[in-house]
């Protein structure tokens, strides 16, 4: 076997394992613990959305600059910094005493994922251009193993400890430290890409030129809009579906963790398959079908409290979500020049975080009206179908730019 291929595969699996621990840590800090933890601190009902959105705000602020700088300065430095945040943030939850302190800790914790995800995806897209859809999807499935374990593990810890929040956040810290140690000891810089030492002014100028080029790319803007809608919906589902199951359906922590966990298992299984399909056949079809499936299933949520049906809806929504996000990242790379891979991933991640930030906030406002859960989940359906329409009539096809 070719030694270069062995080294390349080794790097990929190191990145996957590191990502699995990182996302396990990040997800377990919020799902399903964040909502009950926030309520236990006396958080006003109209401010719970702010607590939920606090960790996504850094994505709006730093995903694009961090990913763009990784084009100029190298990927490893950015990945190391992000895993340091994964390792340090969990222990700050132990000192939280009210909702605004929780929001501040969530804000700091958000820098980890905001930097890690776009830089890691840019690294993969750069190293594996011929099968980037499959590789990015496989990486995201590996991280989704952590995301899938988080609700089960977190829910089990809460169940066994009778909502022992501090015990849970100690477990979150262990996973974060594991990610940092792996990055520090095993992650190397890409030797095939020469990183030129640039003066700050030159690097900044180059970064802004990349941003402008992406902003002028109509296809990139449409794909980013679809991504923003997907994560707007995901932010609402992740936070308020838990609340619906506890307050309306009357589920215990274990039942909630099962429903949320199978959603992520659906993501894990389907993403590499869909990513491979998007490489070989079409990026467009999974995006369109995924939006429609997700929208139809979420419309049903407020009309049932049955465990089996909510379980099925969660699995189906995970599949629909996977169909879209397995295709958006590689399509974004296809539509932008090779030297702007990091910038394109950063832009996509920024739009993702904008959607995931405003989703719980607007969702909380809708939930507070007389429409309640009916209005909340119906609005998600409308958004998903509308985004499918925008994408359909945009005329985007799989066009690879060199």
Task: Give the residue with greater pLDDT, 239 vs 385.
Answer: 385
Look up residue 123 and give its two tokens: 């690294």
Task: Give the residue with greater pLDDT, 284 vs 282.
Answer: 284
Of 134-143, 285-294, 295-304, the one with minimum mean pLDDT is 134-143
DSSP code of residue 306:
-
Tally of CB atoms within 10 A around 6: 10
- pLDDT tens column, 8-39: 678 888 999 999 999 999 999 988 889 889 98
Look up residue 169 and give its two tokens: 């956040």
Helices 75-88 and 57-73 cross at an angle (nearest 10°) of 150
Indicate whether 139 belongs to any domain: yes
Give how many domains the chain has, as a whole number. 1
Indicate whether 217 belongs to any domain: yes
Indicate whether 402 belongs to any domain: no
Mean of pLDDT over the chain: 86
Model confidence at 353, pLDDT cuts 50, 70, 90, reads: confident
Per-residue pLDDT at 279 exceeds 90: no
Indicate whether 401 belongs to any domain: no
pTM of structure: 0.74
What is the rounded CA–CA span in Å between residue 351 and residue 77? Answer: 23
- The SS3 assignment for 220 reads helix
Indicate whether 241 belongs to any domain: yes
- pLDDT tens column, 311-324: 999 999 999 999 99
Tally of CB atoms within 10 A around 162: 7
Per-residue pLDDT at 203 exceeds 50: yes
Q: Are 106 and 54 a contacting pair, CB within 8 Å?
A: yes
CATH code: domain of residue 368: 1.20.1250.20
Indicate whether 398 belongs to any domain: no
Helix residue spans in 335-371 (DSSP H): 341-367
Task: Give the residue with greater pLDDT, 179 vs 250.
Answer: 179
Task: Please give the pLDDT value at position 199.
Answer: 56
- pLDDT tens column, 39-73: 899 988 778 878 887 887 887 888 888 888 887 77
Helices 284-300 and 372-392 cross at an angle (nearest 10°) of 170
- pLDDT tens column, 129-183: 777 778 888 898 888 788 778 888 998 899 899 889 999 999 999 999 999 999 9
What is the rounded CA–CA span in Å between residue 70 and residue 66? Answer: 6
Range of the domain at 232: 3-188+197-392
- Residue 345, Cα to own-chain centre: how many angstroms? 12
- pLDDT tens column, 326-345: 889 888 888 888 778 888 88
Indicate whether 399 belongs to any domain: no
């Amino acid at each position: 076997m070719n030694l270069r291929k062995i080294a390349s595969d080794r790097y990929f699996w190191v990145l996957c394992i590191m990502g699995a621990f990182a996302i396990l840590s990040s997800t377990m800090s919020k799902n399903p613990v964040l909502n009950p933890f926030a309520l236990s601190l006396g958080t006003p009902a109209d401010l719970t959305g702010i607590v939920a959105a606090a960790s996504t705000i850094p994505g709006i602020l730093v995903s694009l600059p961090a990913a763009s700088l990784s084009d100029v300065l190298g990927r490893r430095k950015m990945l190391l910094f992000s895993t340091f945040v994964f390792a340090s943030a969990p222990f700050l939850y132990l000192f939280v005493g009210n909702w605004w302190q929780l929001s501040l800790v969530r804000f700091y914790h958000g820098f980890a994922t905001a930097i890690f995800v776009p830089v890691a995806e840019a690294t993969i897209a750069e190293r594996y251009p011929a099968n980037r859809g499959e590789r990015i999807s496989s990486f995201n499935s590996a991280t989704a193993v952590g995301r899938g374990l988080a609700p089960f593990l977190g829910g089990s810890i809460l169940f066994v400890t009778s909502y022992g929040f501090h015990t849970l956040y100690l477990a979150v810290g262990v996973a974060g430290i594991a990610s940092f140690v792996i990055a520090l000891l095993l992650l190397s810089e890409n030797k095939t890409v020469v990183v030129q030492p640039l003066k700050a002014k030159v690097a900044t100028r180059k970064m802004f030129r990349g941003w402008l080029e992406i902003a002028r790319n109509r296809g990139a803007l449409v794909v980013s809009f679809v991504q923003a809608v997907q994560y707007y919906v995901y932010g609402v589902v992740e936070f308020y579906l838990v609340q619906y199951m506890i307050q309306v359906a009357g589920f215990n922590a274990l039942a909630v963790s099962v429903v949320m966990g199978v959603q992520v298992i659906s993501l894990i299984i389907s993403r590499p398959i869909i990513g491979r399909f998007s490489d070989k056949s079409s990026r467009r079809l999974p995006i369109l079908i995924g939006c429609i499936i997700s929208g139809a299933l979420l419309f049903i949520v407020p009309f049932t409290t049955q465990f089996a049906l909510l379980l099925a809806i969660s699995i189906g929504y995970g599949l629909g979500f996977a169909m879209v996000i397995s295709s958006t990242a590689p399509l974004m790379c296809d539509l932008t020049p090779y030297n702007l891979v990091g910038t394109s991933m950063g832009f996509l991640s920024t739009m993702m975080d904008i959607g995931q930030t405003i989703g719980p906030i607007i969702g909380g406002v809708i939930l507070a009206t007389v429409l309640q859960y009916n209005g909340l989940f119906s609005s998600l359906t409308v958004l998903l179908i509308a985004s499918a329409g925008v994408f359909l009539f945009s005329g985007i096809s799989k066009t690879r730019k060199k």
